[in-house]
Amino acid sequence: MKATKRILALTLVGALALGSAFAGTGNNGFQTGKLSGKSADAKAAIALKFMANKGDFKVIKESKDKLGTTTVRVQQYYNNVPVYGSDQIVNIAEDGVVNSFVGFTKELNLTKKIDKTVSKHEAIAIAKTEIASELIDAPKADIVVYIDGETPHYVYQMELVTEMARWNYFVETSTGKVIYKFNSITGGKPAPKMNVANTVAMTAKGVLNKDRTFNGNLNAGQYYLVDLTRGNGVYTYNANYRTRLPGTLWADMDGLLNQTADKPAVSSQYFFGVTYDYFMDTFGRDSFDDRGAQIKSSVHVGSSYNNAYWNGSQFAFGDGDGDVFIPLSGAIDVVAHEFMHAVTENTANLTYSYESGALNEAMSDIFGTAVEFYANENPDWLIGEDISGPGLGAPALRSMKDPTITNDPDHYSVRYTGSQDNGGVHINSSIINKAAYLFAQGGNHYGVNVSGQGVEAMEKVFWRALNNYMTSSTNFAQGRVACVQATTDLYGAGSSQVEAINDAFDAIGVN
């Protein structure tokens, strides 16, 4: 299989999965029931009181869903220092009762006194010696607890930004040793200010030569690909075949956008508008952060670049080489896949390695497909089939219906167990994809019969599981528990839907 098959990657938190380094409580770190008494206190205060005997925690996010549950996400601290990757969830009913807890904590074998033999400036210098390119901004360093396997360290966490990369380093405070590092792609500069009163409807052909109607903005005699009617805007940029992002805001003199080079920009502007509408219409979510975050994308990224990604601040799409892929913004499930990575970062923030990373990828495939059904864009259970070429060696990037047609595993017993692909984040995502497909469509798999419950039930269940019951370190077994609990919340303990979700995970061998 060509390496390019594994390319819809998200460069976000390149950390090691904490996994077995944490001792769980309850079933896979999951407790349900009446875990506290009623309370009229603020939900954040209830959450912190509940966590008081588990260590030192601070609230990082609070949200309330349509069922009346307030989800409070808390971050573990040790010695007033954040523990990298250790977040927990406290779910609270309207009457103040804690009805579920998701998380893992660890008694950290660290001294209270932080050994700062290596200063912050020295740590930055150590990291800079490994970076050949000139830095764009002066790096900042913060002390965190980083757990390397079973061993916790006090480290300086820092970001070093060059023209073509965004390096994150974890340098031990006592020795100056680089404990871990990862590279992500740098973000870009803000767009010119636009006025919503100048919104204009535009129609042009996208990558697949279909007419697309979308919003633009007429400003000083030029038509810009800026839609200010959705959140804080949908903006499309031209990277002009370079890797420095975002490039220049897409502008057109006559507003016709009838050149071949315009097509990827048309597709990006249109599909991000549809994707925004899906999340607003289906879940009432205002952009990927639920606060109307600006949706910024760049097309024509790199030269013959066979990739698309979310880099933590914006989206980027290559044009493909014409053999493996055509311009990647031409597929709605690819656009929505990347958007969902941003959603996941702003909800469970599933760590992008091993099983939590595979869940991260699966969520993007699941909701990329859900958006394709919502838009009625020839919906199917393939990922990226619209932009895949003969050089890919498969009909699509992945198949949720039959992962084996792209040489991906369809059962936990045949999962990839190596370290490549960040521990198989793209490869093993197909196992969870298969469970989602079975829950929606039904079928018999490995001798287990699953009754299909439809796409709407699938999206509701996985959405609630992600938002209410998954943390950054959730693995497949915990993902099953999260999905079963979400289904129970939505449909009741004795429902056919609960039976189906259990059957679906039985069918893929995740118990």
Final residue in a domain of this structure, among 105, 126, 143: 105
User: What is the CATH number for 393?
Assistant: 1.10.390.10
By three-state DSSP, how is residue 137 classified?
coil
| Residues 313 and 401 grouped into a single domain | no
Residues making up the chain, counted from first to last: 511
Q: Which one has a higher pLDDT value, 474 or 3?
A: 474
| Residues 362 and 502 grouped into a single domain | yes
Q: Is residue 38 part of a domain?
A: yes
Q: What is the pLDDT of residues 437-496, one digit of tens each?
A: 999 999 999 999 999 999 999 999 999 999 999 999 999 999 999 999 999 999 999 999
Q: Which residues are 90's β-sheet partners?
A: 72, 101
Q: What is the pLDDT of residues 394-452, one digit of tens each?
A: 999 999 999 999 999 999 999 999 988 889 999 999 999 999 999 999 999 999 999 99
User: What is the CATH number for 306?
Assistant: 3.10.170.10
| Residues 355 and 486 grouped into a single domain | yes
Q: What is the pLDDT of residues 272-321, one digit of tens each?
A: 999 999 999 999 999 999 999 999 999 999 999 999 999 888 999 999 99
Q: How many DSSP H helices and E strands does the chain contain?
A: 10, 25
Instruction: Compute how many other C-beta atoms are within 10 angstroms of the C-beta atom of residue 63.
Output: 14
| Residues 357 and 492 grouped into a single domain | yes
Residue range(s) defining the domain that contains residue 97: 23-105
pLDDT at 97: 97
> Region 322-346: what's the mean pLDDT?
97
> Residue 184 pLDDT > 80, yes or no?
no
Q: Is residue 485 part of a domain?
A: yes
pLDDT bracket for residue 499 (50, 70, 90): very high
Structural domain total, the chain: 3
Q: Is residue 244 part of a domain?
A: yes
> Residue 14 pLDDT > 80, yes or no?
no
| Residues 307 and 359 grouped into a single domain | no
**pTM, full prediction:** 0.84
CA–CA gap between residue 227 and residue 198 (Å, rounded)? 10
Tell me which residues are annotated as active site: 338, 426
pLDDT bracket for residue 55 (50, 70, 90): confident
Q: Is residue 286 part of a domain?
A: yes
Final residue in a domain of this structure, among 330, 358, 384: 330
| Residues 311 and 355 grouped into a single domain | no
DSSP-derived secondary structure for 154-195: EEEEEEEE-SS-EEEEEEETTT--EEEEEEE----PPPPP--
Q: Is omega for the bond preceding 246 within 30 degrees of 0, making it cis?
A: yes
Final residue in a domain of this structure, among 78, 105, 132: 105
| Residues 311 and 413 grouped into a single domain | no
| Residues 365 and 299 grouped into a single domain | no
Q: Is residue 492 part of a domain?
A: yes
Q: At residue 100, what are phi and psi to the nearest 5 degrees? A: -165, 155
| Residues 390 and 297 grouped into a single domain | no
Helix, strand, coil tally for the chain in percent (to 5) = 35, 25, 40
Q: What is the pLDDT of residues 116-167, one digit of tens each?
A: 999 999 999 999 998 877 787 788 899 999 988 889 999 999 988 775 566 7
Closest CA to 224 of 186, 263, 193: 193
User: What is the CATH number for 49?
Assistant: 3.10.450
